[in-house]
Amino acid sequence: MAELILFNKPFQVLSQFTDERTAAGQKPRATLADWIRVRDVYPAGRLDYDSEGLLLLTSDGALQHRIASPALKMPKTYWVQVEGTITPNAIAQLCAGVVLKDGRTRPAKARRMEEPELWPRTPPVRHRETVSTSWLELIITEGRNRQVRRMTAAAGFPTLRLIRYRIGDWSLDGLEPGSCRKIFVNLPAAVQPGKRPARARPATTPRRHPKS
């Protein structure tokens, strides 16, 4: 049984335990060490400083590989607030794959969604009366640097707020911002590319916050 920690990373927290800028005398940024007190665990993959949501941590190398390896194509689900009212054409572009500087992305799953009931972000997303916003759900199987933001920008709709809701079978359900939950995963003896991980114990339904 491998130990896995599910963490709801707040906005502007590094997905690492130290900030290298501190050694250069710059103002330190918030890190995982400010929130997670479990020893000898490491993130399986990354989540940008200015993104929020699910980050998985483990001390088990095999489990870390299963989650983070591009070859295994574990799906990651994002809730994305974009500038403007996203169009069916933009959704089709995201689904087909968009061309970025480092090549075309894999086909994704994308759909327009209603604004979810979420915790308020601090600081909040800048609001402009003359510019509308919309939300979409985007599921990708890659992990390029700032990929979701670059994809929506390439489709003509810059990202304003980005929340990772799910990785494989694990989600934010039951997790408040800054909170974590420890579960145990039964690893098979061998892992074949493309297979999904064993399902974790079901989580409780999340306690939603009023829209901000």
**Catalytic site positions:** 48
d(CA 157, CA 82): 6
Name the nearest CA neighbour of 135 among 160, 100, 154. Answer: 160
Residues in the chain: 212
Q: What is the DSSP string of 1-44?
A: -EEEEEEEEPTT--SSS--GGGGGTPPPPP-GGGT---SS-EES
The number of angstroms, rounded, from the C-alpha of 123 to the middle of its chain's C-alpha atoms is 19
Is the omega angle on the peptide bond into residue 206 within 30 degrees of 0, that is, cis? no
What's the DSSP call for residue 109? E
Q: Residue 4 is which amino acid?
A: L
d(CA 65, CA 104): 24
Q: How many CB atoms lie within 10 A of CB 25?
A: 6
